[in-house]
Structure 1
Amino acid sequence: MDQKRKSPTLRRRRLSRTLRALREGSGKTLHEAAAEAGTTASKLSRMENTGVQRPSPGDVARLADVYGVGTDTRELLMELVRDSGTRGWWDGRPGPRDHALLPDLEAEAAALRVHAPHRVPDLFQTPRYAEAVLEARPGGTGPEAAGLMEAHGLRRQLLNEIRPPRVTAVVDEAVLHRRVGGPEVMREQLEHLGHLAVRHNVTVRVLPLGAPGHPAQEGPFTLLEFPEADDDAVVHVGTVSASLYLEEERDVAAHRAVFTVLEAAALSGEESAARVAEAVDHWTPARAG
């Protein structure tokens, strides 16, 4: 029987980050918060360390009292601790909508493998391209949309960190020719994509239109891998209104195998750069029409 230790579930990771953020927001040290909650600083540290120790409902309730959280935050904490042993879930189901989860996972990841069949990957998007994508969605305007745009901009800064993750993206060639926001926006976006592709931590591979059928035609996904050997990989699959996070080993292995097939079918790095450059030329005002 396989005795490999399972990494913390996504709920437990989220719970740990939330507990740490609440303590820091309260201005309390580990020792102060632990003493007030009737526990030890070492135990509290383990609770905050991406789920090394799974807290009990009583632990969380006492910490919620110490931090003086509101009703909504308390309910979120208690739901997370109740579900913290379960792996994988829809964040669009009834309950807390964990919008910050994917950016949090991206920030922790050592490597991301992205399959982008419909549009430029989120982390590679220019502000104008991202805005055009958002505006095309139902409810893509208004105050909530402005907040999403701000969050999207912060998320893209991940590639500018001192130690950014390694990002490998397989982009369908149709993405280079699918009009989003008009010719000027497309040209700017594809020029940006070309500039990103020369970074040491970014690889962009184009899946040509003439490539044979492949096992990932159903939709986009991101495979996130983490620096700690015991911290299992996660697959994010997005839909219009929700996100599915897959943590089971068989699901991760299946998506990893699919990505290997996609890379084999994609153009080389040099050929991909040439194809992107051709698309930039296509979207010049004189030719885009």
Structure 2
Amino acid sequence: MEREQLATSTKWQPSKISRIEQGQATLQRAELEQLVELFWPDEEQCERLRRLATEARKRGKFGKVPDWSRQYVGLEADASALTIWDGELVPGLAQTEEYARAIVSTSVVVPPAEVEQTVKARLARQRILSRETPPELGIVLGEAALCRTVGSPAVLRRQLQHLRQLATQPNITLQILPFSSGEHAAMGASFTVLRLDLEDLTFSYAYLESLTRADTLDGQQHIETYQLVIEQLRIAALGQRETLNLLDRVIAELAEARE
């Protein structure tokens, strides 16, 4: 059915249909029932749709996040596995409150009055790491993230201590890509690869974010490319023991500088 025909049948605006199709809006129960009456899926499909819609509504409250990142936040909440590459910044799922506040405070798209709400929303997303069945989280982090003074040397030191603690959890893998590894395929880019296991289906996405927009890619060619780059980064990065040793060394240096 064409979008215009669907808009006529449901009396919804085409823009609303577009947001639903792109995963940027959730369906209320009455709206789902409209679609059920229109398309007449069989009873098994109906029940599956209703279960998925119920779960989507539970996770549809994103807190203070930009409209263009809401699709990712929804995918993140449902992800079975996430692999993150960032060359110079600790990713949001691993940030401490004061580190996150320092980062958000530099934004030119977040008004000062909304900084605290945005930080609170970012920290709330971290709850997925402590739920009963947490996702697998792999982080490959550029050595620059250990050197850039975000907030203050003390803020950075506590952030690295938190990062080290996370790295000891069984569902989390952390690797540092040292400066000595030289050039690589992900220079100038940061991205996240997500895997979602929903009932008997598996979906994969690559997510890239800039200052004012985000792209969520799901084509096989995109996914294979980003997965290949991640594997190359993992091979070039330090192993777990070497990563922890490097973190310990930088944390000790930051403590001495404070003294």
Category of TM-score, reference length = shorter chain? 0.7 to 0.9
Residue in structure 2 matched with residue 215 of structure 1 by the alignment: 185
- Pair 1:165-2:135 in alignment: yes
Pair 1:36–1:221, CA change in 2 (3 A): closer
- Pair 1:154-2:162 in alignment: no
- Pair 1:18-2:26 in alignment: yes
Q: How does 1:1-289 map to 2 (within 5 A)?
A: 12=21, 14=23, 18-19=26-27, 22-23=28-29, 34=33, 38=37, 42=43, 44-48=46-50, 50=52, 97-228=67-198, 230-284=201-255, 286-288=256-258
Paired positions, count: 226
Q: Using the alignment, how far apart are the partners of 1:232 and 1:254 within structure 2?
A: 16
Code of the aligned partner of 2:249: E
Pair 1:44–1:183, CA change in 2 (3 A): same
Code of the aligned partner of 1:241: T
Give deviations 1:50-81, integer Å, cap 9, x for gaps.
58xxxxxxxxxxxxxxxxxxxxxxxxxxxxxx
Q: Aligned-pair distance for 1:121?
A: 1.2
SS in structure 1 at match of 2:103: helix
Q: Using the alignment, how far apart are the partners of 1:207 and 1:141 within structure 2?
A: 34
Name whichever of 267-276 and 221-230 sits farther off.
221-230
Q: Using the alignment, how far apart are the partners of 2:222 and 2:145 within structure 1?
A: 26
Q: Which runs of 5+ in 2 are unaligned?
A: 1-17, 54-65
2:193–2:227 Cα contact (<8 Å) kept: yes
Pair 1:256–1:38, CA change in 2 (3 A): closer
Give deviations 1:143-175, integer Å, cap 9, x for gaps.
332321121111111111111100011000110
2:79–2:195 Cα contact (<8 Å) kept: yes
Q: Using the alignment, how far apart are the partners of 2:26 and 2:185 within structure 1?
A: 37
Q: Using the alignment, how far apart are the partners of 1:149 and 1:234 within structure 2?
A: 25
- Identical residues among aligned pairs (%): 25
Pair 1:37–1:231, CA change in 2 (3 A): closer
1:13–1:50 Cα contact (<8 Å) kept: no
Tell me the TM-score normalized by structure 2.
0.78
SS in structure 1 at match of 2:26: helix
Q: Which runs of 5+ in 1 are unaligned?
A: 1-8, 52-91
Tell me the TM-score normalized by structure 1.
0.70
